Chains A and B, each alone.
Chain A
């Protein structure tokens, strides 16, 4: 059974810092991995999708990497801004679709 974990559970940083969020999964037989952002009371917003054959994806200040063999993905956020404050979830798509518990990020002005 696929299990997805995220570290840290919560993170608070001053504005401008670069930061890394971590996602681990137990079964490497995945089709893809996605990173999402959740704002309070809102649906998920898709940030990045990495197919199983890919190593990384970039969008603006976001960069996500995937090491399928080790069951890890990282989301790198450059030059963080207060508007980046949200909960970030990773999810893997394989036989099932499994979400991690999320990392709650606060970027302080």
Chain B
């Protein structure tokens, strides 16, 4: 099956710094990738839809200037949390649409961000 990787798997940073998370589709091209986050004891929620070569579409309540998404190639999307604060500490997961068959979605293993 298709594989999606995320890097890093865990990151701890100081408040005010920026953190970049990479999402790669390893054996297929993905024109569309999604970014999700899950706060402790809460649901995994869609943050944004990332389309290769165009601007990301953000869900209501997600600050696009704080969560910068770049989908520069068909196999890579990046999420940069700018000026991170402790309330940004969360579990971030990406997924990629395969574009095959029923447009199956494949998920990365996730990145746990802790902002001190």
Binding site for B on A (CB under 8 A): 31-32, 34, 36, 38, 40-46, 49, 51, 87, 91, 93, 96-97, 99, 104
Binding site for A on B (CB under 8 A): 32, 34, 36, 38, 41-46, 49, 91, 93, 95, 97, 102-103, 105, 107, 109-110
Contact of A44 among B32, B42, B102, B105 (CB under 8 A): B105
> Given A34-B43, A44-B34, A46-B45, is A97 in contact with B105 using a C-beta cutoff of 8 Å?
no
List 4 extra interface pairs beyond A44-B44, A46-B44, A96-B109, CB under 8 A.
Answer: A32-B41, A36-B44, A44-B46, A97-B110
* In contact, A46 and B32 (Cβ under 8 angstroms): no
Contact of A41 among B41, B91, B97 (CB under 8 A): B97
> Given A38-B105, A97-B110, A104-B102, is A51 in contact with B38 using a C-beta cutoff of 8 Å?
no
Residues of B within 8 A of A43 (CB): 34, 36, 46, 49, 95
